[in-house]
């Protein structure tokens, strides 16, 4: 078995562990907030990519414009996002997280992070150094890969 295959196995094991844990917490949070998954996804997108229009939602989630409009309407009704006219194009709308929506997403992210912090607290100083260096490498490799694609 080459080093490459060996390492793949290790990363896959970590992926499984990590994904399993992360998904569990994530779906629990979505349930607790009473949102549907598409609604949550839109909020996440607004958090990570910032304000956008209806068409952008429709493209990114590969649904019709009508579906995006209705989804946004429900989120506006729930007070989780705000919808305003785009000053540069009066046909277009700009939607963004409301403070309520922001809190909701941030608490979800916080919950996901908490587990990692516990993980770190179980490592000694030497292990922390090594793990930090390794994950920095991986994150950089991922960024490089993203660019070339």
* Complex with a second copy: residue 66 or 135, whichever CB lies closer: 135
Q: No. of H helices and E strands in the chain?
A: 6, 2
Q: Considering CB under 7 A, how many residues would be counted as binding DNA?
A: 28
Q: Report the partner that residue 84 touches, choosing among DNA, a second copy, none (CB closer than 5 to 8 A by kind).
A: none
Cα–Cα distances (Å) from 78 to 95, 109, 139, in that order, read: 14, 20, 36
Return the number of the residue (14 or 70) whose C-beta is nearest a second copy: 14
Question: x/- string (CB under 8 A) for a second copy, residues 7-36?
Answer: xx-xxxxxx-xxxxxx----x---x-----
Stretch of 16-24, 68-76, 102-110, 121-129 lying at the interface with DNA (CB under 7 A): 68-76
Q: In whole angstroms, what separates CA 64 from the centre of its chain?
A: 22
Residue 57's closest CA among 81, 25, 26? 81
Torsion of CA 42, 35, 80, 39, to 10 degrees: 20
Give me the least distance between CB of 54 and a second copy, in Å please.
20
């Amino acid at each position: 078995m080459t080093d490459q295959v060996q390492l793949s196995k290790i990363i896959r094991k970590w992926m499984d562990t990590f994904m399993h844990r992360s998904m569990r917490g994530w779906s629990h949070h979505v349930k607790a907030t009473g949102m549907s998954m598409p609604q949550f996804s839109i909020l996440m997108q607004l958090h990570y990519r910032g304000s956008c229009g209806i068409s952008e939602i429709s493209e990114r989630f590969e649904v019709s414009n009508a579906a995006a409009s209705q989804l946004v309407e429900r989120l506006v009704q729930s007070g989780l996002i705000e919808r305003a006219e785009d000053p540069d194009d009066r046909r277009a709308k700009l939607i963004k997280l409301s403070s309520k929506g922001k809190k909701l997403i941030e608490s979800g992210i916080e919950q996901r992070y908490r587990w990692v912090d516990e993980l770190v607290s179980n490592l000694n100083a030497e292990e922390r150094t090594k793990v930090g260096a390794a994950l920095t490498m991986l994150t950089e490799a991922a960024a490089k890969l993203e660019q070339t694609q």
